Structure 1
Amino acid sequence: MAITFRKSIRILPGVTLNINRFSWSITLGARGGPRHTISSTGRRTTSMDLPGPLGWRHNHRHGRRR
């Protein structure tokens, strides 16, 4: 079993700093509405919860980290 680390810190209402073993990210937006996540690895994600068991997510990566 792998050891994992993840920490989410709420900076302001609607702004969250997420930290894990390999990177960090900032999420803008509240639950129930659209959210935009920008990661230190270059990944940008836009997601939104839809009614019922549906959800929508769009990923976009700028460059590659090696």
Structure 2
Amino acid sequence: MSGFYAAPSVLGCIRIEPGDYVACRIAHWRLMFQEPEALQVGPEIPENAVWKLTPTDLN
């Protein structure tokens, strides 16, 4: 999906800031910066994976 800014978070992992939605922090395995070769193949999800991390910033 396009239209968002993603960068390393000071708390670890990746912080995503969509222009029209709430910012969140996610694990590295959830984000790709290049289009995958096979669009029908999903990411490898680690066992006991955390999908959304909190807090999102230091405030």
TM-score normalized with structure 2 length: 0.40
Higher strand share: 1
Q: Report which of the two structures shows the higher radius of gyration computed on alpha carbons.
A: 1
User: Which of the pair has the greater relative contact order for Cα pairs under 8 Å at 6+ separation?
Assistant: 2
Higher helix share: 2
TM-score normalized with structure 1 length: 0.37
